Amino acid sequence: MNLMADRADDERGLSPVIGIVLLFGLVLFGATLVAVAGMSLVDTMQTESSLDRAETSMQQVGSDLSELANSPSDRETELTLGNFEEGQASIVDDGQMIFNINPGRTAAGSCEAEMDIGTLEYERGDSTVGFQAGGVWRSDGGSPLMVSQPDLTISKQTIEGRTVRSIDFPATNVDPDNSSLTGSTVEAQQNRSVSEARQTEMQRNLFNCLDDSDRVRNIEIRIEGNQYADAWYRYLDEQIGAAGTVRWDGDAVVATSPLGAPIQPADFTIENPDTFGALHTGSAFNPSNLNDVFFDGYDSQMAGYDDSGRYDSKTGKLASATDVTLNGNFDFYGDVFAGDSIRIPGRGNSIDGEEHPNADIDAPPTIDGEIRDAIDAIDTNAENSETSAVTADDLVLSDGGAVTLTSGVYHLDTLTVPEDATLTLDTSSGDVVIAAENGVQVEDDASVDVVGGDANQVRIFSGADVTVGGDVTVAGDRSYKNFWYAPSTASVSLSGDEFTGVAYAPDAEMTLDRDLDVYGSLIGGFDGQIRDVDFHYDNALERISGDGTSAVIEDGQVTGPSDPELESFDARATILGSEFSNDGRMQDIYPSLELESVTNDDDLDSLSYWQETSSRVSADDGSELRDPDGESLTERYRGNDLDRLAYGEYGISRLNRGDNFHRGVYWESVRFNGQSGDEIQLSGMASYGNVFLRLYDSNGNRVSESWDGLSLTLPSDDTYTVQVMSYNSVDYRLELRETSPDPGDGETFYHEDVMFDARNGDDVEIEVSSTEASPYVELIGPGGGRVAVEEGGSDVTLTADSLAEGQHTIRVSSTSNKTEFDYDISLKRTKIENAPLLSHGPIKVDLVTNPPNSSANYREPWPDPRLDARGYPGAGWNDDVNHPAVPEVRSTSLEGLEPGTGFSVEMEYRFRLCGDTTSYAGTSKMIDGTRHFEVGCSSNDRVESTIEYDPGSAQNQLKILRDGDKVPHVEPAGGQRGMKDMLGSRLNADDTLDLDDGEFVIAFELDETRANFDDAVAGRSSADYNDVVMLYEITDQHWTDGSGETVTEGPNGSPLDENEDYTYTVNIENNQIVIGSE
């Protein structure tokens, strides 16, 4: 609650809200002049004694003293009194200055502090010149004059939209009790400890008598016994002006000046009162009987009640923090929420809506303390005298009469509206706040009517019971304009025909009489019978804060606190995500992409497909001892039935049904002899696909297995069998090498190993070149076996088909031993075997801005593949909104839109299977754990169908959402991002949107032509509304003062004037968002 506490933590009565300044400074009661003993005034005193010269000297002395007084620490300064004649300069006590805060108005009387006025004075005959309170004064026996102004000033300024008056008095005062003059040159010193002690005492005396309900409203300055009183009178009269008074009280000058700012209605608010439902209670809702009771809802920001078609009337709401029992005769159109159970006994009883048992419903908090604080503060500070409608804390209103209260803060003993009388609460110029000390009594056939500004509220704080026998109405049924608060100890009785507003009295007993219509919300306890009552819940209450200033208040919806006119606004449209590609097609892909150059530090360890780089083979990388039998293998066999090999041999054979075939696998066995500790390498290469190698010892025990190759150390002396297997009938080559180290000279080769990951069935091409050596390139499979090897000249190209799944190694060395050299390398994937493809359905998006007085403008910021005359796509497919391999958020700005401009989106999409298998996105997408690929579109890929959606024809496919709206629970199609994922942090845990004012989400369902968003939210539809999800946001507003002159550039330009009310309207109609001026 924002009451007028008007306190700083350490100085009661001072408030930055009001902006009171009482700066008496650390030198209050001033610098103390202390004469240094032993100096002879007679010895150095000049004889020249003109009053004019003395006046000039006094001004210089005053300047020196002020400088001394404002120094940050104790110090001394030398004052020259050369123009003063001996015996005529002195320090005298010249009366008192008495300060009085809120004279006669505070709870404990006046707050008073006194200050003795010390004067450094030069006297000659009947004339004097004196320095006091920071000013210089002169008297020639007649009316005294002010030569230079004192330190005391009274001013006004604007703080947070209020006119605030303040007093500034850093007094430089001479202490007559501790000062004397004994020479023409005097040492003056600041006595800081005395100054601070007296300042503390003065602050305590001024403010300690204020209690929590007081505010600083005025100050009285009384100057007694001062020889320059006439001059002080004129000066204070000039400073205070017409805002205050200056008068004589005998010989004393008494000036009274307003301080701070008057209280305002905005100082008395309950922030975000809990108004969840037409009836909302913290206890069980179990009335003895519901007899002919009706529940429904409306939205007063869209239209008044019964304006059919402008809102959903099945939005009634009832909420209890515990149990709900609906027993009797009732019609309920809306939802019931209960912290525990919901019971609807009786045959045929039900609600046309949803039941929410065990919901997260809090009990509305009681605010008894806040109500009491508000009433007390208003009692102390309200200015009822400013209106003739209130006399002595009572309304001036009799039976059958009428009275109007306009914007302001009022204190009443009891808010009584007599029989047949009318009280009009006019909010045209601002809020109306009433404190009703002893309760509210609206008698039979009386009425309370709330009229005026849509953005303003009535707030009534009742200290006791509320009894309403008449009607309480609000123009347009806008319940959020009328909040009545009562303590939990009160009873609330409503027995008229209509109550429009919010009656907030948690735990208070509420009694409702027959034939009552409630528009808004009642918060209290409901135990008795409820008969013949209609409850119409105003859903706008869920968007309104307690002071009403942040309400969206206009037909449609209005955001922002009104006065300046909206000149133009800027907006931004952002694609948060798009999922309109489907999997399902399997096809070989033959990419032909551009190589990406990457850099490294001559220590290359990995490479990706379609990358190239440079590196260096050095002795620091690694070395190997080549096969002692040489790299040139001997051909042992060529035919269809290989059965034996020895180290250093290879064989070429064929797998067919003449060998072995079982469960779709072809295989044959090849034997060789080996000894314990032999390091061997088996490499298998197929003409198509892969071969799988499985090694057994002579006892049939499996030793090792892998696709394409094996590299291992034999465990024992034995005859081993390797099974060569494939799913295809293929030709294959099997190589057997012994790679055991041999320390012989000339067999050490430096090498660098480069890793890459392969997908099962990949074909690769590796190019290695060097100007310093002849490269020797090996491809080693995941199992360590050699897949392929290539050498010859300075440029080597190694190709390998149908690789196994897993990490492969490219080993780069030289044909010469112990050779270091630089080399270039590239890695290409030339075939992706049986790849799962994404079907690409390109989406064309037109952003449409529709100004009020001209034709619509179409923008297409994200290009879609163009179609030629035959209907074939052209270039640009990879820039499409729905391109799965381009996941980044896309945004475009819309600037300088005039008020009344609507925003909508027209969408066109095409079913097309792109078949350019030499081109794909360069990245891939995981769907249900499987990597999918998207190929490009060529000029021969014809569009299968084209469907267009515009706002007029796409009522079901397009949905505009605002803060608090729910999104569907539908799981997206396999592998797609869902709408929830696209929204990210803009979504609350309960699947409602968390958006700022001026933010909107536009969701599209392009596939299901009979989609219904409400069905999707309720889980009755498979429509996931994730095909395109867009955020439309108002990013800036530009305002004028009504004359056409721009007064602010809005949030991103110069600051808004805090005194003004900036409001724009939002209407959502015909699937477009219209921003207008209030």
In the predicted structure, residue 151 carries a pLDDT above the cut 90: no
Residue 277: φ, ψ to 5°: 120, 160
| Position 784 pLDDT exceeds 90 | no
Q: Token pair 């008449």 is at which residue?
A: 470
d(C-alpha 76, C-alpha 89), whole Å: 20
Cβ–Cβ < 8 Å for 40, 183: yes
Q: What pTM did the predictor assign? A: 0.44
b/e code 261-286 from CB counts within 10 Å (16+ = b) = bbbbbbbbbbeebbbbbbbbbbbbbb
Amino acid at 72: P
The DSSP symbol for 171 reads -
Beta-bridged to residue 668, according to DSSP, are 724
Confidence of residue 917 (pLDDT cuts 50, 70, 90): low
Q: What's the pLDDT score for residue 12?
A: 22
Does residue 364 sit in helix, strand or coil? coil
Q: What confidence score (pLDDT) does residue 516 get?
A: 93
Per-residue pLDDT, averaged over 109-122, amounts to 78
Write down how long the chain is: 1078
Q: What is the pLDDT of residue 627?
A: 47
pLDDT score, position 1065:
81
Segments making up each domain of the chain, as ranges? 22-258, 368-503, 573-580+841-1033, 596-623+747-835, 634-738
Task: Please indicate whether the domains covering 596-623+747-835 and 634-738 agree at the CATH topology level.
Answer: yes
Which pLDDT value is given to residue 926?
A: 56
User: Tell me: the pLDDT tens digits for 480-523?
Assistant: 999 999 999 999 999 999 999 999 999 999 999 989 999 999 99
Helix (H) or strand (E) holding 1004: strand 999-1004
**Residue 161 pLDDT level (bands cut at 50, 70, 90):** low
Which of 21-35, 829-843, 911-925 is the least confident region?
A: 21-35
> H/E/C letters for each residue in 152-215?
CEEEEEEECCEEEEEEECCCCCCCCCCCCCCCCEEEEECCHHHHHHHHHHHHHHHHCCCCCCCC
Residue 125 has pLDDT above 90, yes or no: no
Q: How far apart are CA 636 and CA 755, in angstroms?
A: 32
Nearest to 545, CA basis, from 900, 738, 274, 871: 274
Q: What is the pLDDT of residue 413?
A: 93
Asked if residue 420 lies in contact with residue 447, where contact means CB atoms within 8 angstroms, the answer is no
- Higher pLDDT residue, 900 or 176? 900
Mean pLDDT of 835-850: 74
CB 171 within 8 A of CB 29: yes
777 pLDDT higher than 80: yes
Most confident of 369-383, 443-457, 548-562: 443-457
Report whether pLDDT(59) > 90: no
Percentage, residues of the chain above pLDDT 90 = 21
pLDDT at 78: 53
pLDDT above 90 (res 825): yes
Q: Supply the pLDDT for residue 22.
A: 26
Low-confidence winner among 59-68, 225-234, 466-475, 1024-1033 (lowest mean pLDDT): 59-68
pLDDT confidence tier of residue 388, bands split at 50, 70 and 90: confident
Instruction: Compute the distance between CA of residue 384 and CA of residue 205 in angstroms, rounded to an integer.
Output: 29
Count of C-beta atoms within a 10 Å radius of residue 1003: 25
- Residue holding tokens 């035919």? 639
Is residue 912 very low, low, confident or very high in pLDDT (cuts 50, 70, 90)?
Answer: low
- Residue from 451, 498, 438 nearest 478 by CA: 451
- In CATH, 596-623+747-835 is 2.60.120.380: yes
pLDDT at 77 over 70: no
Q: pLDDT-based confidence at 84, cuts 50/70/90?
A: low
The pLDDT score that the predictor gives to residue 695 is: 94
Please determine, for residue 922, whether its predicted confidence score (pLDDT) is greater than 70.
no
The distance in angstroms from the start CA to the end CA of the chain is 29
Q: What confidence score (pLDDT) does residue 69 get?
A: 54
* pLDDT(573) > 80: yes
Hey, is 562 helix, strand or coil? coil
Q: What is the pLDDT of residue 322?
A: 92
Run of H or E including 294? strand 290-298
- Tens of pLDDT along 25-39? 222 222 222 222 222
Residue matched to tokens 């959502």: 1068
Q: Give the span between the Cα atoms of 349 and 327, in whole angstroms.
A: 8
Give Cα separations from 106 to 13, 109, 590, 989 (angstroms): 11, 5, 91, 51
Is 90 exceeded by the pLDDT of residue 796?
yes
CATH of domain 634-738: 2.60.120.380
- Amino acid letter at 1000? F
Q: Confidence class of residue 99 from pLDDT cuts 50, 70 and 90?
A: confident
Confidence band (pLDDT; 50, 70, 90) for 1000? very high
Q: Grade residue 581 by pLDDT with cuts at 50, 70 and 90.
A: low
The pairing of strands 252-258 and 498-512 is: unpaired
Q: What is the pLDDT of residue 93?
A: 84
The CA-based dihedral angle spanning residues 938, 940, 941, 942, taken in that order and rounded to the nearest 10 degrees: 140
* Tens digits of residue pLDDT in 933-961: 666 655 555 554 444 555 555 566 788 89
Tell me what percent of the residues of the chain surpass a pLDDT of 70.
71
Query: What are 436-458's pLDDT values in tens digits?
Result: 999 999 999 999 999 987 678 99
Task: Assess whether pLDDT exceeds 90 at residue 264.
Answer: no
- Name the residue with tokens 């209030």: 1078
What mean pLDDT comes out for the span 750-763?
89
pLDDT digits (tens, 9 = 90+) for 318-345: 999 999 998 888 889 999 999 999 998 8
pLDDT for 172 equals: 66
981 confidence band (pLDDT: 50, 70, 90):
confident
Phi-psi group of 731: left, alpha or beta (phi > 0 → left; psi -120 to 50 → alpha; rest → beta): beta
Bridge partners (DSSP) listed for residue 625? 748
pLDDT at residue 1068 above 60? yes
Lowest mean pLDDT among 83-97, 163-177, 597-611, 1049-1063: 1049-1063
Q: Which range (181-195, 315-329, 448-462, 608-622) has the least confidence? A: 181-195
How confident is the model over 869-876, as a mean pLDDT?
A: 43
Computed over every residue of the chain, the mean pLDDT equals: 76
**Which tens digits make up the pLDDT trace of 631-645?**
567 888 888 888 898
Instruction: Note the helical H segments in 941-1022.
Output: 979-983, 1013-1018
Compute the average pLDDT of residues 392-404.
Answer: 88
